[in-house]
Each structure stands twice: as structure tokens, then as C-alpha cells.
Amino acid sequence: MKKRKLKGVAALITVISLGSLVFIISLSTAVLTYWSIQNVNANQKSLSAYYSAYSGIQDALIRLERKKDFLGFYHLSIYKDNDVGISINKQGNEITITAIATMDQFIKKITAICDLDPNTGLVVPKSIKEG
């Protein structure tokens, strides 16, 4: 009878140890999966904000091609209402376009500096930078 009790205790300890190990592995896998999904979601929102700002620059260049004296500030809706603010300033023959896009807590700013040819009216981007 005593041998059976010892075998039962050993089996109980083994089952509890293995069960605890499986539980810890499952819990850690669930936590790692949750944080990786959050990371992917944050990357997607950051890229959406970047490409929204870049789309704002492209939209401003098209508007300048159509109307050379177009200056000021306006909003553009890409993913939601008025999520990109675009500013166009002119100093001499140089035009500065600034686009600021917001996607939740992510804010991306892209600035483009362009030359305006006074003879032909052609708008040529010199540099486009983020920040």
C-alpha cells in the first residue's frame, strides 16, 4: 500500500510540473503574440502617416503645375477627414511645400523645396526630406 501511495505522489508531482510548464509556455506565447501584433499595428500607422504626407506633397505639386501662383494652406483627406495639412510658401523663385500628416499618435512631416522657372513656369523639386 505504501508503494502505491509513493507512485501516486510521484505521478501527481510529474503531472503538476508538466501542467505548469505547459501553462507558462502558453502564457508567454500569448503575451509575445499580443506585443508583436501591437508592433505591426504601430508600424502600419506610421507608414500610413508617412505616405499620407508624401501624397500631400504630390498633390501640392499638381496644384502648382495647374496654377503657378497657388499659395497658402489647405487640408487633404487621405485616410480620414483633414488628416494632412499642406502649406505652400514662395520666396523669389523658390517654393517650399510642407505636408504634415497625423495618424492617431503618429505625426509625419515632409518638406519639399522646388524651383520655379519664371520663363516656362515649370516647377522642379530640388529636395524632399522628412522631418
Report residue 98's pLDDT band, with 50, 70 and 90 as the boundaries: very high
State the Cα–Cα distance between residues 67 and 34, nearest whole angstrom: 49
pLDDT tens-digit profile of 7-65? 777 788 889 999 999 999 999 999 999 999 999 999 999 999 999 999 999 999 999 88
Model confidence at 83: pLDDT above 90 = no
Report, as an integer, the average pLDDT of 69-82.
Answer: 87
10 Å CB burial of residue 120 (0-12, 13-18, 19+) is: exposed
- Given strand 94-103, what is the order of strands in its sheet? 72-76, 84-91, 94-103, 106-116, 123-130
Percent of the chain past pLDDT 70, that is, above it, reads 95
State the Cα–Cα distance between residues 10 and 129, nearest whole angstrom: 67
N residues, the chain: 131
Give me the half-sphere count of Cα atoms (radius 13 Å) on the Cβ side of residue 115. 7
Higher pLDDT, 21 or 69: 21
10 Å CB burial of residue 62 (0-12, 13-18, 19+) is: exposed
Average pLDDT of the residues of the chain = 89
Model confidence at 130: pLDDT above 70 = yes
